Amino acid sequence: MEETRKKMNPLRIFCKNCGAPAGFDIIRQTYSCPNCGQVSGIQEVERKMSQWRDLNKKNIKADSAGQALEEHSCPTCGAQVIFKAGEASGTCDFCGSKLIRKDLLRPDQMPELIIPFFITPEEAKKRMLEWAHENEKTPEGEAVLANIDQFKGYYLPYQLARGPVAATVTRDETNRSYYCDGYLDGTAVNTSKQLDNLTLNAMEPFDWSEARPFEYGYIAGQNVKLSDISDAQTEKRILQEVEEDFLPEVERVMQTEGVDIRLRSGNLLTMPVLLPVYFIKAKYKDTGVTAVMNGQTGRIAVSTGREKKSRPWLWNWFLYTLGTFLLLTFLFGNAWVGLYITSVPFIIYGVMFSQNGSEVVRSIVLKTEAAKAERKGNTLSIAEGEDVLENPYDNTPVFRERNDDGKLVPVHLRFYPLSRMISIIVNTFVTVFLPAIIAAFFRWVSMKEGEKFMDSFSPGYGAAWYCIAFIIALLYLSKGLRMDAFDHPFIYEILENGKEKLIGDSDSRKLTVLSMFGVGVKDENGESWGLIKTLRMMGGMGLFLGGALLFILIGSTAAIIM
């Protein structure tokens, strides 16, 4: 019977064709065999988990016979814990209140899987103290040293989640929203309301190859806590944890920390598990401290509630101002002149970037590298590093858009391909030197034999246009290049053979000086406005501005060739 339960472990999906372990293909959103390519399908997971539950419940009930265990609850924080009969602590390890004994434990409250403790309490305390001394100049290290006497080991309740999740992503300074999704292939979420789940998440991953079917023998002599949050709260925590998993990839694609991720879950399958954790939960100064250690791998994460606040748009403001200053200093050969003229774009950049910018708040959690504990004889060794214990569950999101056939497909988003950068340079050059370009054409067609081109060609006389065009170019390079580019991406469909295909209407990718003002940009009905219609829609002010620019352009062109 035990061997049957191990073979049916729901954390392992095997190929129906060759029997090899199957991995989850995030692009195709299904399980496939790396050896023969056979697709197992998500339905296989649902079937296997159902069979596992039916068999495991019977075994848990059988194992519970004769177990002398007591359940105790805290009337203050609501914690529910299990002790061996006669060994219960008098106070709650989570808030310090007096515990109340309840009815004996019911077998159906117990989890279905468990990862046993690998690190002893003495080894764990020694490692936590070493970490605290190394970080004693930080609030986190100081808090751990002050509360090390409250260091406890518990089997904590988790929910192992599997299923689809989707997100709508938006970026600061832009209006377009993007869609991405993923598949949770074993995300473990803590279900204790007394502990911060994001701090607990920072001490992961666990080595799930060591997961065992639950038996009462594993918790003999150990402290065990039961879940005390609702299903709705559990789902909320799952989405919070998924957001943390999605965040690095979303920030990489959107090229900023100023992103907003709004998640929603599909049909999630969850399984209760017990995981080994050493922790300190105590009040410290004006807030408190949550220090946790993975009881299997030795990874540490500590939080005192500190937060890091940043405004990513300030970097855009600074970099654009600095670039403008250096360019003007080069053109005029004088840093003071460059600084004086830069004061105007400095104000323009500040207004533009701050208008839709936001403050990004991130919780500060100090943590060690991913760890893996091994034992040689009686000696414990813990290796640390990014690749020491790779998380087998890839929760990296995949961005999707509708292709030319209307089908939602996986895509790569690019905002600054070479063709766009060349187009931006050409647009900027033409905008600034438009009267000189027009005048050069008229000078070329009107030249008489024996005349030199520069005899009646003075590009410096177009200064009136250059001054206005310089401001327009600054707007284009800030709003158009940094903002509008993220509203008009280049979208490449990822084909099944791994190649990419550019999709979408070419007009939707245009990023010209005129498109910055809405000219040629399609609206919600798929219609685009020309220059004249755009000016007319602006009313009298639009017609005045259009007429004034046309007058200056004609005057500057004439001045250059006369």
Task: Tell me the pLDDT band of 531, cut-offs 50, 70 and 90.
Answer: low
Instruction: Determine, yes or no, domain membership for 10.
Output: no
Work out the widest C-alpha separation in the chain, in whole angstroms. 114
Instruction: Determine, yes or no, domain membership for 20.
Output: no
Q: Is residue 322 classed as helix, strand or coil in its secondary structure?
A: helix
Q: 432 and 329, same structural domain?
A: no
Q: 465 and 368, same structural domain?
A: no
Task: Tell me the pLDDT band of 205, cut-offs 50, 70 and 90.
Answer: confident
Q: 494 and 390, same structural domain?
A: no
Please give the C-alpha separations between residue 114 and each of 5, 35, 187, 217, in angstroms, as whole numbers: 13, 30, 15, 11
pLDDT of residue 194: 83
Q: 288 and 229, same structural domain?
A: yes
Tell me what the mean pLDDT of segment 517-537 comes to.
59
Residue 120 scores a pLDDT above 50: yes
- Contact (CB, 8 A) for 535 and 542: yes
Q: Residue 39 is encoded by which pair of tokens? A: 């697709």
Task: Tell me the pLDDT band of 147, cut-offs 50, 70 and 90.
Answer: very high
User: How many folded domains does the chain comprise?
Assistant: 3
Mean pLDDT is lowest, of 16-25, 377-386, 425-434, 484-493, for 16-25
Q: 454 and 387, same structural domain?
A: no
Q: For the chain, what percentages of helix, strand and coil (3-state, to nearest 5) are there?
A: 40, 25, 35
Instruction: Determine, yes or no, domain membership for 13.
Output: no
- Contact (CB, 8 A) for 353 and 313: yes
> Residues 126, 127, 128, CA angle at the centre, nearest 5°?
95
Instruction: Determine, yes or no, domain membership for 441.
Output: yes
Q: 557 and 472, same structural domain?
A: yes
Q: Alpha-carbon distance 526 to 549, whole Å?
A: 29
pLDDT of residue 26: 52
Mean pLDDT is lowest, of 35-39, 366-370, 418-422, for 35-39
Instruction: Determine, yes or no, domain membership for 220.
Output: yes
Q: Is residue 442 classed as helix, strand or coil in its secondary structure?
A: helix
Amino acid of residue 1: M
Q: Residue 408 is encoded by which pair of tokens? A: 């939602």
pLDDT of residue 52: 55
Peptide bond into 205 cis (omega under 30): yes
**For 18-175, where are the E strands, in sequence order?**
23-25, 30-32, 69-73, 80-84, 100-101, 113-114, 152-171
Task: Tell me the pLDDT band of 144, cut-offs 50, 70 and 90.
Answer: very high
Instruction: Determine, yes or no, domain membership for 157.
Output: yes
Neighbour count for residue 261 (Cβ, 10 Å): 19
Tell me what the mean pLDDT of segment 530-550 comes to.
67
For residue range 48-77, list pLDDT tens digits in order.
555 555 555 555 444 544 455 666 667 677
Please give the C-alpha separations between residue 383 and each of 202, 206, 299, 352, 392, in angstroms, as whole numbers: 17, 14, 10, 49, 18
Question: Quick one: angle between helices 540-561 and 463-475, nearest 10?
Answer: 130
Neighbour count for residue 70 (Cβ, 10 Å): 18
For residue range 215-261, list pLDDT tens digits in order.
777 776 678 888 888 888 888 888 888 888 899 999 999 988 889 99
Q: Alpha-carbon distance 229 to 157, whole Å?
A: 10
* Helices marked H in 181-311: 197-201, 231-254
Q: Which of 63, 40, 42, 53 is nearest to 9 (CA)?
A: 53
C-alpha dihedral (430, 432, 433, 438), degrees to nearest 10: 70
Q: Which of 116, 509, 438 is nearest to 274 (CA)?
A: 116
Q: 316 and 236, same structural domain?
A: no
- For the chain, what's the residue count? 562
Q: Which of 356, 389, 424 corresponds to the end of one domain? A: 356
pLDDT of residue 366: 92
Q: Alpha-carbon distance 505 to 436, whole Å?
A: 33
**For 206-286, where are the E strands, in sequence order?**
212-213, 224-226, 259-265, 269-284
| Domain enclosing residue 347, as ranges | 312-356
Q: 301 and 321, same structural domain?
A: no
Amino acid of residue 374: E
Q: 393 and 439, same structural domain?
A: no
Give the pTM.
0.75
Q: Alpha-carbon distance 518 to 541, whole Å?
A: 16
Amino acid of residue 50: S
What percent of the chain lies above the pLDDT cut of 70?
Answer: 75
Mean pLDDT is lowest, of 347-351, 394-398, 405-409, 520-524, for 520-524
pLDDT of residue 62: 47
Q: 321 and 306, same structural domain?
A: no
Q: Alpha-carbon distance 532 to 75, whole Å?
A: 72
For residue range 70-109, list pLDDT tens digits in order.
666 676 776 777 665 544 456 777 766 666 555 445 555 6
Q: With 0-12 CB in 10 A as exposed, 13-18 as middle and 19+ as buried, what is 205?
A: buried
Instruction: Determine, yes or no, domain membership for 36.
Output: no
pLDDT of residue 7: 44
Q: Please, what is the average pLDDT of the chain?
A: 79
- Contact (CB, 8 A) for 258 and 173: yes
Q: Is residue 39 classed as helix, strand or coil in its secondary structure?
A: strand
Q: 428 and 505, same structural domain?
A: yes
> Residues 250, 254, 259, CA angle at the centre, nearest 5°?
70
Amino acid of residue 58: K
Tell me what the mean pLDDT of segment 13-19 comes to.
66
Q: 287 and 419, same structural domain?
A: no
Q: Alpha-carbon distance 431 to 22, whole Å?
A: 57
Tell me what the mean pLDDT of segment 423-445 comes to.
88
Instruction: Determine, yes or no, domain membership for 18.
Output: no
Who contacts 125 (Cβ-Cβ below 8 Å, separation ≥6)? 148, 151, 278
